[in-house]
Amino acid sequence: MPKIKGKLGITEFYNVIFKGEKLTIDPKVVATINESHNFLKEFSQNKVIYGVNTGFGPMAQYKIKDSERIKLQYNLIRSHASGTGNPIAPKYVKAAMLARINTLSLGNSGIHISVVELMIELINRDITPLIYEHGGVGASGDLVQLAHLALVLIGEGEVFYKGERRPTEEIFKKEGLQPISVELREGLGLINGTSVMTGIGIVNTIYTRRLLEWMISSSSAINEIMQAYDDHLSEELNNTKMHKGQREIARSMRSHLKDSELTRKREHHLYTNNDGVSVFEEKVQEYYSIRCVPQILGPVLDTLNGVEKIMIEEVNSANDNPIVNVEKKHVYHGGNFHGDYVSLEMDKLKIVVAKTSMLAERQLNYLMNSKLNDILPPFVNLGELGLNFGMQGVQFTATSTTAENQMLSNPMYVHSIPNNNDNQDIVSMGTNAALITKKVIENAFEVMAIELITITQAIEYLGVQDKVSSKTKTLYSKIRKIVPPFKEDLVMYPFVNQVKDFIINNEN
Residues 142-185: tens digit of each pLDDT: 999 999 999 999 999 999 999 999 999 999 999 999 999 898 88
| Residue 386 CA from chain centroid, whole number | 42
Confidence bin at 425 (pLDDT 50/70/90): confident
Higher pLDDT, 268 or 399: 399
Checking if the pLDDT of 275 tops 70, the result is no
Residues 455, 11: Cα–Cα separation, whole Å: 32
Residues 195, 96: Cα–Cα separation, whole Å: 5
pLDDT score, position 1: 67
Confidence bin at 416 (pLDDT 50/70/90): confident
pLDDT score, position 422: 66
pLDDT score, position 420: 73
- Worst-scoring range by mean pLDDT, 54-58, 117-121, 242-246, 444-448? 54-58
- Worst-scoring range by mean pLDDT, 64-78, 82-96, 465-479? 64-78
Higher pLDDT, 372 or 280: 372
Residues 311, 342: Cα–Cα separation, whole Å: 7
Highest mean pLDDT among 28-42, 48-62, 326-340, 347-361: 347-361
pTM value surpassing 0.85: yes
Phi, psi at 329, each rounded to 5°: 55, 50
Highest mean pLDDT among 257-266, 283-292, 356-365: 356-365
Percent of the chain with pLDDT over 90: 76
Long-range (24+ apart) CB contacts under 8 A made by 403-407 are 404/443, 405/353, 405/354, 405/357, 405/358, 405/440, 405/443, 405/444, 405/447, 406/354, 406/358
Checking if the pLDDT of 270 tops 70, the result is no
pLDDT in tens, 313-366: 999 999 988 899 999 999 998 888 999 999 999 999 999 999 999 999 999 999
pLDDT score, position 268: 56
C-alpha dist (Å) from residue 280 to 268, 269, 277, 291: 15, 11, 7, 18
3 state DSSP class of 271: coil
C-alpha dist (Å) from residue 492 to 196, 318, 399: 36, 48, 16
- Worst-scoring range by mean pLDDT, 67-76, 147-156, 272-281, 433-442? 272-281
H/E run at residue 250 = helix 244-257
Q: Which residues are catalytic?
A: 50
- Worst-scoring range by mean pLDDT, 190-204, 209-223, 420-434? 420-434
pLDDT score, position 427: 84
